Structure 1
Amino acid sequence: MTASPRIDFIYLSEPDMIRAGVTDMAACVDTMEEMFRLLHHGDYRMAGANNNSHGAIVLFPETSPFPDMPKATADRRFMAMPAYLGGRFRTTGMKWYGSNIENRARGLPRSILTFVLNDPDTGAPLAFMSANLLSAYRTGAVPGVGARHLARPESRVVGLLGPGVMGKTSLSAFMAVCPGIDTVKIKGRGRANLEAFLAWLDKTYPQIANVEVVDEIEDVVRDCDIVTFCGSGATGDPSTYPTVRREWVRPGTFLSMPALCNIDVGMEAPEIRKVLDNTGLYDAWYEENPKPVHASVPAVGIRFLDLAAEGRIDRDQLEDLGEIVAGEAPGRRDDDEIIIMSVGGMPVEDVAWGTVVYRKALELGIGTRLTLWDEPALR
């Protein structure tokens, strides 16, 4: 018997994605935890000969002889981020990522994202999705996985730099795994962003009784149980990245860094635990970029690799979150240790959460069914 050559797939708009559960942060954290176990055991593939690349990126020049070519601005890029994930997921997918910080002046998000999910055997599309929420929630969920294993369970105080989308989803994930959080300290650049965040916080987490807007990064970090830097900005000069200074960090703090971040010499000390969300991702970045890599890839985990290359820290200090999640390395060992985790973001996360949302959409009959072809014109 010959299978039908007809190929259908479903289109999921942003409202469809919400109805299918894309904003269920607790479920997203659990899904990311499952994904990290698969990463640790090697049941995945990403781009590049190393199978660990973040993706393929198109950047624009500062100047060009072509008057219609876009010019470089902060965070102006296009990126294709493909991956395969095994286990119960066993799907492939690709996020298509367009970003320009000047979008905000147009009333648009900084990044506009779509995601296609594919059958890993035939390559046929299963779904085409609006992906801003997909990406935002999977990004925030990874700090939640880190906090589940590396923060003190009784954590109460969160310090947040950058009250944007990533700040909201990171805090949502912390709330999912540390429900005793009752205090948030926030630093932002613009009043409008701060006011929008404060309104969201009041509506979403009324149990957070203490909210303090601070003016300095030091105040974000001091006297916190969990600290996260979620601000966007220009790369190129690591001295301009927000920096964590050892003197600000009290014993027992968990620092989750999904955005630009640097550290001072005190934070280089071996007693400060340094965790990467996937060691292979950082090795791929290091292989693919000019040195020092932190100038072009602002994740603090890349700073760790630059320091190791300079002989200032031992590469053996660096730990892998997947190994911790899999139970093959310790999570938090005592109430006093300081742990800083770098969050790089990976397309396998989009595949994991995209697959869960897609299957829920099928179960609930959500989405618009589209036809690629009844029969292919060429075979």
Structure 2
Amino acid sequence: MSDGIRQITDGALPVLSQATLGRLEIDYCEVIRVVENAFIALRTGDSENPLKTIVQPRDKRSLGYSMVGRDGASKTVGFKVVYEFDPERTKNAYRFHSFIFLCDDLTGMPIAMLDVVELGPLRTSATSALMARAAHPCAANALVVGSGVQGQIALPMLVAAIPGLSRLQIFGTHQAGLHVARENVEKRYPGQTVEFVSDLEEAARHADIVVGAAGLSSKQFVRHGWMKPGAVAVLLGYGVDADVFHGADFRIATDTSQMLVTCNDLAGPNGEIPTVDAELPDILLGRAMARRSDRDVVFAYNSGMVVTDVALGRYLADRALAQDLGERVKLW
């Protein structure tokens, strides 16, 4: 039992804010390891990842969803809730509020409540990196589409997973975000440079890995005809056109059932959704291929999996509590 859990016996729950989690020194290789173990435990451990519950009014002014999951690798149960106001950014009034509540499933004790602004992008980028490494471990050229929060950490996470990457490019309209993305790489990998791309098609035609990390307002998308043989496109937001999904030679998902809940915008004219060839947990275990041929264009759909939130949340909470960080709130 960790010191952090012992401290909760007085009914005071540790609350780890965005600012608190931002003070942690985070090793991206460790993040990838934790997320990978969570995916493996979905097949080999006592893990559960039910589909999310979603509520939304008819005018789509807000979006709310909740998820509960159990990570068998860390023996942790987590409850995540998300509320977004103006999710389609039509009112210039966007708001995002979310947290995850963690419990130790060996001791029965609560662990902490965490903000997910730091957590979400980390587990999502780690998942994208695992998919890219599985499908193209010898990749040399990576392109990220999007300069928001997800785009800003996608490249350094890719380098952590595939150290052989020698050319890093990013396309986006948020200039400050582009510079943050460059700084994130240079800080962790001195000597690595990041190119800002103005011609998306030209960059995509030379990329081994394309990561679609743009936001809902994105106007430019990588098309299937731009993908070179053997390239892999990982979609976690926007920036990769649906025709890459439909035209791909091989398709990967984190979880097919979860994908079908969230991929309506990728459906064909008649609502058709192409068949998924493999899921990431099976690929990581060597039970499935990540492609059939070196020339396959691979499409990978990165849908959020609450077990990865739970596993990574436990990792971050344990680190924060070991440093006696966070506020204590008396609830019980």
Q: How far apart are 1:205 and its partner, in Å?
A: 4.3
Q: How far apart are 1:110 and its partner, in Å?
A: 5.8
> Share of identical aligned residues, percent?
25
Alignment of 1:307 with 2:272, yes or no, is yes
Contact 1:20 1:364 in 2 (8 A): no
Contact 2:278 2:289 in 1 (8 A): no
Residue in 2 that maps onto 1:350: 309
Structure 2 residue identity aligned to 1:224: A
Residue in 2 that maps onto 1:248: 226
Q: Of 32, 35, 39, which residue of structure 2 is paired with 1:36?
A: 39
Q: How far apart are 1:320 and its partner, in Å?
A: 0.8
Using a 3 Å threshold, how does the CA distance of structure 1 residues 220 and 59 change in structure 2: closer, same or farther?
farther
Q: How far apart are 1:184 and its partner, in Å?
A: 2.7
Q: How far apart are 1:144 and its partner, in Å?
A: 1.2
Q: Normalising to structure 2: TM-score of the pair?
A: 0.83
Q: Of 260, 267, 283, which residue of structure 2 is paired with 1:324?
A: 283
Using a 3 Å threshold, how does the CA distance of structure 1 residues 148 and 128 change in structure 2: closer, same or farther?
same
- Cα distance in 2 for partners of 1:247, 1:124 equals 53
Secondary structure of the structure 1 residue equivalent to 2:206:
coil
Aligned residues: 322
Q: How far apart are 1:138 and its partner, in Å?
A: 0.7
Residue in 1 that maps onto 2:56: 59
Contact 1:135 1:350 in 2 (8 A): yes
Q: How far apart are 1:241 and its partner, in Å?
A: 7.7
Residue in 1 that maps onto 2:124: 139
Specify the structure having the higher radius of gyration (Cα): 1
- Cα distance in 2 for partners of 1:84, 1:145 equals 21
Contact 2:155 2:168 in 1 (8 A): no
Using a 3 Å threshold, how does the CA distance of structure 1 residues 267 and 356 change in structure 2: closer, same or farther?
closer
Alignment of 1:82-231 (within 5 A): 82-87=68-73, 89-99=74-84, 100=86, 111-120=96-105, 125-153=110-138, 155-209=139-193, 211-216=195-200, 218-231=201-214
Using a 3 Å threshold, how does the CA distance of structure 1 residues 245 and 176 change in structure 2: closer, same or farther?
same
Unaligned runs of 5+ in 2: 1-7
Using a 3 Å threshold, how does the CA distance of structure 1 residues 248 and 328 change in structure 2: closer, same or farther?
same
Using a 3 Å threshold, how does the CA distance of structure 1 residues 363 and 202 change in structure 2: closer, same or farther?
closer
Contact 1:182 1:207 in 2 (8 A): no
Q: How far apart are 1:41 and its partner, in Å?
A: 3.7
Residue in 1 that maps onto 2:241: 262
Secondary structure of the structure 1 residue equivalent to 2:48:
strand
- Cα distance in 2 for partners of 1:208, 1:110 equals 35
- Cα distance in 2 for partners of 1:125, 1:267 equals 41
- Cα distance in 2 for partners of 1:195, 1:171 equals 12
Using a 3 Å threshold, how does the CA distance of structure 1 residues 122 and 360 change in structure 2: closer, same or farther?
closer
**Deviating runs (4+, > 6 A) in structure 1?**
103-106
